[in-house]
Chain A
Amino acid sequence: MSEEISWTRLRWIEKGKTDNSDMVSTHIDRDKVWRGRSGIFSDRRIYPQTQIIAFDELRTDFKNPIDQSNPTRARERILNIERICNLLRKLVVPEYSIHGLFCLMFMCAGEWVTLGLNIPLLFYHLWRFFHRPADGSEVMYDPVSVMNSDILNYCQKESWCKLGFYLLSFFYYLYSMVYALVSF
């Protein structure tokens, strides 16, 4: 049973891009008028959201220990881990670059306060990106070490924090845009 659930969930994650973008695009349609520049922003919310689900997925193994000990599950499980890690890795660069782009745009627009809010995250991203494991093709989320619970915990916490940050900034942008429109 749990297997099935995890499969469906995984499918969802795999399809995450399409599903989410559908969802997001309707958001944009509705809110575009309102939000203007922050419209795209909801795009970025999906990254930490997906990540959280993915980490949760990683953590949730088959609960039945006999199942878990079964050697034949090993392959499935390893594939799962590898796939999730691949997925996460694919999302790293887009997320970071979109965030970077935003910072750049804020800078161009002279939104120094907003930029200031984003700078720490930007630096964090830069740090994270350049301190990844030396292994050539791996960006981050190495399947062989991600299951160490300290790393997993760290990643999960990171995703929650980012989700919170993106949410807050979304409302902040919304507020400032409405404010700008009203005062306009």
Chain B
Amino acid sequence: MLFFSMVAKIIAVRFKSSTSGVEVNQKYLVVYFICLPNFLCLVPYLSSPVCPNKNSNFLQLYESTTHSTFGTFVASKRASTTVWNCCGQTFKELSSIHKHVARTHDTDIHQLTQSTFEVLLSQIEKEATSQQQSTEKEPVDISSWIPDTSHITGDQLHKPAMGDAECFCDLRVGVYKEIVPMGVDRDALFYSLAGTQLEPEEFHKEVEALLSKGDSCNDTILLDCRNFYESRIGQFSQCLAPNIRKFSYFPDYVDQNLDLFRDKKVLMYCTGGIRCERGSAYLRSKHVCKEVYQLKGGIHKYLEQFPEGFYRGKLFVFDERFAIFSNSDIISECRYCNSPWDQYQLCSTHFCCQLVLSCSACRQGGHTKGKGEEPPATPPQREECPVGQTYPSTYPPGYYGAGPQQQGYPTISGHCAPAPNKSPITNNDHSAYYHHNSHQQPIAAPTVAPSAYRVTQGSHPPSQPYGTLPTSVAPPNPQQAPPFQQTSPYAPHGAYHGQQQYLPSQALIYPQQLNLVSATPSSQGTPMYPIVSYPSAPGSSQYGTLRSSQAPTGPGAISNLIGAPLHQYPPGNGTSHPASTAAVPSGHSMAPPGQPATVNGQGNAVQAPVLQHYDQSHQAAMAHDHYGVTHNTGGADGDRPPSGTPFTSSPGHQQGMHYGYVANSGASSANASTNAAPLSSSSDEDVDEEEDEEAGGDSSSTTTGSASPVPNSYDSLEGGNYPESSIPPSADMTKQAPPFGYGYPSMQPAYQQRPSPRTDSSPSHGSYNQTGYQHLSQPFPNMSQLSAALGGLSGVPELEVEALRPVNLLQERNLLPHRPLDAPEPNLNADLKKANCSPDTFRCTLTNIPQTQALLNKARLPLGLLLHPFRDLAQLPVITSSTIVRCRSCRTYINPFVSFLDQRRWKCSLCYRVNDVPDEFMYNPVTRSYGEPHKRPEVQNSTVEFIASSDYMLRPPQPAVYLFVLDVSHNAVDAGYLDVFCQTLLENLDKMPGDTRTRVGFITFNSTIHFYNLHESLSQPQMLVVSDIDDIFIPTHDSLLVNLKESRALVRVLLTSLPGMFSQTRETHSALGPALQAAYKLMSSTGGRVSVFQTQLPTLGAGLLQSREDPNQRSSTKGVQHLGPATDFYKKLALDCSGQQIGVDLFLLSSQYSDLASLACVSKYSAGSIFYYPSLHHVHNPAQLDKFQKDLERYLTRKIGFEAVMRIRCTKGLSIHTFHGNFFVRSTDLLSLANVNPDSGFAVQMSIEESMADTSLACFQAALLYTSSKGKRRIRVHTLCLPVVSQLSDVYAGADVQAITCLLANMAIDRSISSSLSDARDALVNAVVDSLSAYKNTVSNLQQSGLIAPAALCLFPLYVLALLKQKALRTGTSTKLDERVFAMCEFKSQPLQQIMRTVHPDLYRLDTISDQGALHLNDCIVPQPHLLHLTAEKLTREGAFLMDCGSVFYLWIGKCCNDMFIRDVLGCPNHASIPPNMTQIPELETPLSERLRALLAWLQDSRTFSSTLHVLKDDASAKTSFFQHLVEDRSESAFSYYEFLLHIQQQMTK
């Protein structure tokens, strides 16, 4: 019993907080034993050994006994959970039964108490004796266990508190090292050193003295040791209340604010005196204060004596009561309406579990509501949780409803507002925020938070404009807005919102138009971009057609422009302002007097009105009224021509319908803006950024003059100098060489490629490029033509016959075409064909869709789609329109394949519903005429991008947030990746997509997690180490994710110093799981991208993994184990991330087994990408490091879309059933993509559910809704149209063998994970066998022997064989498990071209290349060597061969290769002198070398990630890596191609 009593001293009673959700960090020694009488016997022992004062002890015992008796009495009357019966009465409320018992059963209670007390007393005596015995019996000395408590008197050890069983519904007993953990070791800090204890009376006097001196009192500090939410609802007047969230932050607080306490008298108090005990001891140990006093017994005791003393407000307690009160003061305010309120409510945000002060009125108004309740009608403000974001917090439902009226971005308000951090600083901003009563803080803040934070908090009066921009804040009055503002960091957002809110105009940004226009003036040398707006007012609306395009300078340009065939612009408009048009540099728009400037929808509506938009009073309802003003000011700010054209218009003039037609060409207008005249840098910037986005990332605007924050990042990738890609294709297609200005490297092969003879027969690429021109040059078919087009196919072309030509695979040796295979052309009407989606983006395995499932089954071919929806496009029509026209029933976007029944109605191509054409749509901005809806760009292009209106976002779009999680264990440092990473990031810091809101953060980890505080005010980065990896927390919410613009210097410092910081580390462990959890917590409020760099198996914390690979099984021909994840930790984390819109990209740089199968899950389900660099080492494997660096560069600078969803719709009758790729399937047809990147591909499988006999066309539409890095919500829509056929032969004729192979690869990988690898391999072989035998049995009439395949499928067996020999699916060859898993991941997430190059590399012979059929690009000649079969037969000792494997090129030099070739190309005298590890071709001036480099560059150009080149000598040991790609040859464990064919034939005859 003694033992028990000893332990009881360090008992912490912890009330279960699950119901309340309050995080209870404090464990009180205030012993709430009242609820459980059984424990009463403990009470005396708590104090008796230490406290000789029996009397007070008994008094307390009696008191608590009374309470418990009362409680048990009430409990005995309970009938059910909420009903009490007593004396024949029924009580429904606890208070009423309490009252009743207290009034009527007082005597009963008294008697009961007496008897209980007597029993207790006798027990005590008994125990006292037995205790002595037991101490004799158990001489174990446990006194060392417990701290010295001799200085604590008994009445401090347990404190009675009013309350009842309802308050203390749960009792837990546990042994805790510290009751109130302060994070300082007990041994290091003795309790006995605590501050002098003051009795409440003394304390009262001290406070009185302090208060009487008023503000003049500088030598005394009244310090509140409690957490900020406690002190908020009740505190001593004029106290200093640190902004700490838990007590363990107190030492940090003291450390940081030592100066505050220097030579002061400090009076400390807390709830019950325990925290003071620890806190004052800590403060005293710092030896800075003059005196430290603490309130004995805490506020509890004080209030007992001075209920009306200096303590005002309520006393927060950690139980169901939340707060107890002694006086009626309410010192805190409701978070929302600022009315006095001090009752905490749980934040309704899911998982937030934090306390919010919201008054009942505000609750009814929708704040702090529970789930499931109806969202409020009025847009509420952001609910703010007082305690930062410890929990993954979503936005409260009410918040979603708020929509664009929301004040402030989520990134700066609410959860992201400076939360109490680990290093709390009592500055005025914070306390104003957390303590609404805003006390005058007696001390100055050492560090002042950026004022932007404070002001953007949602709790402030609604009239506050979003005006806290760090730099120039544009005045709301547009007239006063400086026309040319200096770069305002927030301008792009402004632009964004300006656009969505203030642009009712249907401004079409439609780059393809450019071709047209530039067709005429293309011979002109200097590009100038006059921007003309053509005001015209058909009906009551005003339309401005804007055009920024390539055209000669000056008025001549305009006449040229006007003379452009399709655009009969009224000359009057154009020529009336020649000067201004020529001079308007950036603005896309030029408005004549009296007309509202048509904002081009992009960059110009930047400043004042936009900011004003944040004014909360600016409701959506009023938006229309503001339009006029907006346009004017937009023009005034950005667009006003320097010539000073009068610019006045009245809002009333507007009809709410503006059409702005803007022909934007990526860089052109940006160039224009810099070339023509120096204009406001802000508008330059905007234009620039916009172009960047619009052109799908191709615009290589090299803004020379203006300081564009985001220099174009796509130069190297797309290469496209815009003028080149905007060359009118119509002119080029027939000519060998383009007329002018081709920079060769910038060519887009897919587009600009001169069609070789082969491609001539199926000019799919060409047709895509032509669409822009031809559609506009030829009037689109009128109604009758269109319906005719929809009605049927235009005969059976020869193509089809050719595709069906039977090929005997066993006899035909040369199946490969000379040039890489193109996608088969769907058999469509020429017009539809032209309008169809590019096969690079959207491809179907069967270009002729079978009518019924039965037919599909007969064909035995898989039906599915392969998509590359977000790829970098050279030309992309971007449409801004107030209404996005969609089918009313299936929500399909209007597309080129809909049919217009008449002028006012269109029929959906997917569900066949007839919809009305909205009025706005009737107007065609291209021809500026009414009644031609089918000429709208939406109807002319199958790939378009819409700028989504505010309907599509219910919260402001998220900013670009990048978090880098870096492994810094010994292994990582050894590999040396950190230098490369930091270097690359430093170089590309400015090229990362984003705007002024872009935020970055860094986390490093080994066995601990390190965070970096990069707040701009710091002189150097501050490293915060969290070693508690089991329960990871974010040390401070303040500045771990910082605005890149503001903290750039600090980020640079960090990146420079990071490699050195860990160079000496000996830490080998890796706590990846906790690091990821930390990243999740850090990012959960914003979403964004997490890039994880990992170099080994995670060995610590959650998600730790064991090695599962058995090296001896690597080459086993049986199944391969462990392809699935070992733990679902990463999958769960990925789902959480996906829910918070966080994409996790994984870079695995490990030389050993790292269980990629498990790790990859974190990226797979959060729509990330996976990169794997086996055996990366800065010394041993520089080639790999080089590749890593290049990939990283691309990775950092590539386009990115956030919080994306993709939906794929298809014609009624078809249904999608399985998806492949990296994403989370959120609904049966909706893919959730936290991040979307231009390098990922997707695949879907489809089935035919209903017969499609009544239709001749099937349409597929993929719509990707995403937030661009500039914070715009955009929808990219691709539509594919394919014919439906009823004949089996047609199905075969339309088979797309590459797409089929890719889809099969995806299916095989699924199968190998869910079932087994051998199953998957069998399934692949069966796919070939089935389809060929089905063809033989049904279509082919020839009864010849041999293996017959239709020409369309003649490569099918070859590709499947190649698949079987891939790393992912091969057996019998030694393959590391990680590499295999990585290959699988690649298959699942790569776009088709990339997969095909990997599966079946292209082999060319180089030493014999000639200029025959070569492409002439600019001044380069790109030879087009023929493809060779992948067999060693084709290799000769005399030759030099190039193999293009997608991510790697091999240049194989034969032993007897011509010395001239070696000298000319490699710069070595002969074969023997070629260095072994050559990875580059020297730049020699010989024609051969030039050709070769041109070829390599051209090949390189079509892919986004750079490929490495390996020069292999015939005798090199590295040639195994080369020969493994020769898939037609026999390997030790796999068939040769001929054997494989025989095998198939054998299977077929079975």
Contact = CB atoms under 8 A, between A and B. Distances in A.
B4 interface: no
Nearest to B1245: A150
Contact of A149 (B1135, B1207, B1228): B1228
Interface in A50-108: 59, 61, 65-66, 68-79, 81-82
A135 B1164 CA distance: 15
A151 to B, nearest CB: 8
A29 B168 CA distance: 38
A148 B1243 CA distance: 13
B650 interface: no
Contact of B1227 (A66, A68, A134): A68
Contact of A70 (B954, B1127, B1136, B1164): B954
Contact of A136 (B955, B1126, B1226): B1126
A148 B1135 contact: no
Contacts of A183: none
A145 B1203 CA distance: 20
B1311 to A, nearest CB: 13
Given A74-B1141, A133-B1314, A144-B1135, A59 B394 contact: no
B1125 interface: yes
Interface stretch (B43-51, B112-120, B986-994, B1214-1222): B1214-1222
B1218 A148 contact: yes
A7 interface: yes
A153 B1249 CA distance: 13
B1225 A66 contact: no
Contacts of B1216: 149
Interface residues of A, number: 38
A1 to B, nearest CB: 8
A136 B1136 CA distance: 19
Contacts of A74: 1138-1141, 1203, 1205, 1226, 1232
A150 B1225 CA distance: 12
A59 B1217 CA distance: 13
A152 interface: yes
B1218 A78 contact: no
B395 interface: yes
B1427 to A, nearest CB: 37
A68 B1205 CA distance: 9
A4 B374 contact: yes
B631 to A, nearest CB: 27
Given A71-B1205, A134-B1124, A136-B1126, A78 B1217 contact: no
A174 interface: no
Contacts, number: 118
B951 A66 contact: yes
Given A61-B1230, A72-B394, A147-B1225, A8 B372 contact: yes
B499 to A, nearest CB: 18
B1224 interface: yes
B1228 A135 contact: no
A71 B1126 contact: no
Contacts of A148: 1217-1219, 1225, 1228
Contacts of B371: 7
B952 interface: yes
B372 A7 contact: yes
A69 B952 contact: yes
Given A74-B1138, A136-B1127, A144-B1165, A69 B394 contact: no
A24 to B, nearest CB: 23
Interface in B901-953: 951-953
Contact of B1226 (A8, A133, A147): A147
Contacts of B264: none
B805 interface: no
B78 interface: no
A71 B1124 contact: no
B1124 A78 contact: no
B1144 to A, nearest CB: 14
A138 interface: yes
B1265 interface: yes
A66 B372 contact: no
Contacts of B954: 70, 72
B106 interface: no
Contacts of A11: 372
A72 B891 CA distance: 20
Contact of A69 (B350, B1124, B1207, B1215): B1207
Nearest to B948: A69
A144 B1135 CA distance: 8
Contacts of A137: 1127-1128
A70 B953 contact: yes
A143 interface: yes
B400 interface: yes
Contacts of A66: 951-952
Given A66-B952, A69-B1205, A77 B1227 contact: yes
B527 interface: no
Nearest to B374: A4
A136 B1131 CA distance: 12
A152 B1218 CA distance: 10
Given A8-B372, A72-B954, A133-B1124, A150 B1226 contact: no
A87 B395 CA distance: 25
Contacts of A77: 1139, 1226-1227, 1232
Contacts of B1203: 71, 74
B1227 A79 contact: no
Interface string B1095-1139: 000000000000000000000000000011111100100011011
A147 B1165 CA distance: 13
Nearest to A62: B1227
Contacts of A4: 372, 374
Nearest to B1275: A69
A49 B1164 CA distance: 33
Contacts of A138: 1128
In this complex, the member of B955, B1125, B1127, B1225 whose beta carbon has the largest number of chain A beta carbons within 10 angstroms is B1225
Of B350, B1087, B1215, B1227, most buried by chain A (CB within 10 Å of CB) is B1227
Interface string B1192-1230: 000000000001010100000001111100001111111
A125 B847 CA distance: 41
Contacts of B1313: 134
Contact of B1225 (A79, A134, A145): A145
A37 to B, nearest CB: 35
A149 B1204 CA distance: 21
A11 B345 CA distance: 22
A137 B1132 CA distance: 11
The CB with the most chain B CB atoms within 10 A, among A3, A71, A77, A152, is that of: A71
Contacts of A135: 1124-1125, 1127-1128, 1131
A73 B401 CA distance: 11
Residue from the set A66, A72, A73, A82 with the largest chain B CB neighbour count within 10 Å: A72
A136 B1105 CA distance: 13
Residue among A3, A7, A65, A82 with the highest chain B CB neighbour number at 10 A: A65
Contacts of B374: 4
A75 B1227 CA distance: 13
Contacts of A134: 1123-1125, 1313
Given A78-B1138, A148-B1218, A72 B395 contact: yes
B1140 A75 contact: yes
A75 B1228 contact: no
9 contacts: A11-B372, A61-B1228, A71-B1205, A71-B1267, A74-B1226, A134-B1123, A136-B1128, A148-B1218, A153-B1217
Which 5 pairs, one residue from A and one from B, show the smallest C-beta to C-beta distance?
A: A75-B1139, A71-B1203, A134-B1124, A147-B1225, A61-B1227
Given A69-B1205, A72-B395, A147-B1225, 9 more contacts: A3-B372, A61-B1230, A68-B1227, A69-B1207, A70-B952, A72-B955, A133-B1124, A135-B1128, A145-B1225
Interface of A: 3-4, 7-8, 11, 59, 61, 65-66, 68-79, 81-82, 133-138, 143-145, 147-150, 152-153
